[in-house]
Amino acid sequence: MDVSRPNPRTPHPSAEKVCPRCGAQYPAIARFCETDGTALRFAAGGNDLEGSIVGDRYLILKKLGEGGMGRVYLAEHVKMGRKSALKVLHPGMVKDLNAITRFNREAANASRISHPNVAAVYDFGETTDGLIYLAMEYVDGESLGNVIERNGPLSARRAAEIVRQTADGLAVAHEVGLVHRDLKPDNVLLVLTRDGGDLVKVVDFGIAKAADDESEKMTKTGHVIGTPDYMSPEQFAGDTVDGRSDIYSLGLVAFNMLTGRLPFLSGSARESLIMRLTDTPLSLQRVNPSVEWPKDVQEVIGKALARDPNERYQSASEFGRAFYEAVSKMPDTTAHRPSPSDVRIVPPTRVVRHSGEVAPQEDRYVSTVGLLATLVVILTLATVVANRDSGKPRGTSRPATRVANLDSAAATTTVTPAVSDSDQFARLDSLANDSTTASAALTALASVPRTSDENRVRAALVRFAAGLSLGDKKAACDALKEVRTIAPRTTKAALVAGKLTDLCAN
């Protein structure tokens, strides 16, 4: 009998690993079963894979991080010696069709892109014991988000080079028909080159999709795919997106690199989204006046952030070149780090972990309720109804309310005032009164807190206006009935009752 081969029925004196096929036990340093060549697993049955081999070829060296979907490990191919970042789906999610679909999509999408500025995907599979994994290029660098958070605004030249490389990577994705849909500083990794420069790697194509694929605008009603802080207006509204949506997101990334802020100064990501549909982006000078921003740079940024995709750059590479050329004409200066007390800031929507995985962070919201705000919205409703009754056909579009262009105030450093509940609901009402943005108003409304009768009344009035804009008479009538139930003693109760009689008699 060959004593070098362990007996499956006889525990090894220092057994820490086991062969999942024959049950033989081995010390921790062993990798494969000597009997059948199967990769060994730790006998303890824990979730930590360090030291084990996944898929018969990836030796797990250490854990890099953990997120909601799974863990990310530094792994080494046992035969090639190549290191990779190995994403392993949580065992509890192996029956989650959406999670598996995202893993499959990331592998399929990224494998179609071959470019130095896009992290490569090597492999995707499932082990015999049910582990689902994704092996991708290990990027030994730091996320752009961490760099901005730690250092504040970047130098203009460095920002231009990062935008140029990111745009080049996106352009290749767009050429094969893919839209990233979640471009943000956390998904732009920076690797230090030998000459001290930055090599950009765009990562996380897990929610990317073909530009002509209409199958997934939203994961569920009221939940838009993507990270709110860097989402384009059309993506938030649930419209069809193409590569120009990524260009908008890259424009926001560029703005953040130069100023340390985003051009929609608000108290929450939700408010920032609404402002993207109704307000003009603030200028570089307005947000961070510590640098004299050239007109060319502002024009390039402004074009990338145009609300209408047709008015933006039509290709990522075109925007990358234009931004790089405009910045190259200005002195290589760095804006001062803005003080949190200067203006309102959109808080981060997600916390970045070292692996690139993310965890949700609670969104902040400023709330001030009162009877006056209720009356303001009801008066707005009265004006809307009067305009519609005077001859405007229902379901047609009206231009959304827009604020004055703030670029003319570039020289001032006036602090942006806090936005009250009445302002938020007024913006939502403005969106609801336009058939092209009414759906977006309902999407945003789904996450607005309704901790008082005043807020519930205002929310119902937004639903009423959206119902009229979308031609949904039942929804509009149901909203009016809710208003009558919640606020029977309001000064506009007679108006609500009248409209119920006029619109909802049948």
224-227 long-range CB contacts below 8 Å, 24 or more apart? 224/443, 225/181, 225/182, 226/181, 226/182, 227/182, 227/184, 227/186, 227/349, 227/350
CA dist 397 and 393 (Å) reads 9
Phi and psi at 143, nearest 5°, equal -70, 150
- Using the 8-state DSSP alphabet, how is residue 107 labeled? H
Q: In this structure, are strands 17-18 and 83-89 parallel, antiparallel, or unpaired?
A: unpaired
Over its C-alpha atoms, the chain yields an Rg (Å, rounded) of 27
Other CB atoms within a 10 A radius of the CB of residue 184 amount to 27
Beta-strand ranges (E) seen in 221-290 are 223-224
- Cα-to-chain-centroid distance, residue 128: 34
Find, among 51, 48, 41, 46, the residue nearest to 18 by Cα: 41
Residue with structure tokens 């004299």? Answer: 292
CA dist 229 and 186 (Å) reads 12
Phi and psi at 85, nearest 5°, equal -95, 120
Is the distance from CB of 188 to CB of 143 less than 8 angstroms?
yes
Token pair in block for residue 7: 């007996």
Catalytic center residues = 182
Please provide the DSSP assignment of 330-399 as one string.
S---BPPPPPTTTS--PPPSEEEPTTS-EEE-PPP------HHHHHHHHHHHHHHHHHHHTTPPTT---P
3-state secondary structure of 404: coil
Find, among 270, 140, 249, 118, the residue nearest to 184 by Cα: 249
Token pair in block for residue 245: 């949506």
Is the distance from CB of 133 to CB of 86 less than 8 angstroms?
yes
Residues sharing a CB contact under 8 Å with residue 138, sequence separation 6 or more, in sequence order? 74, 83, 84, 85
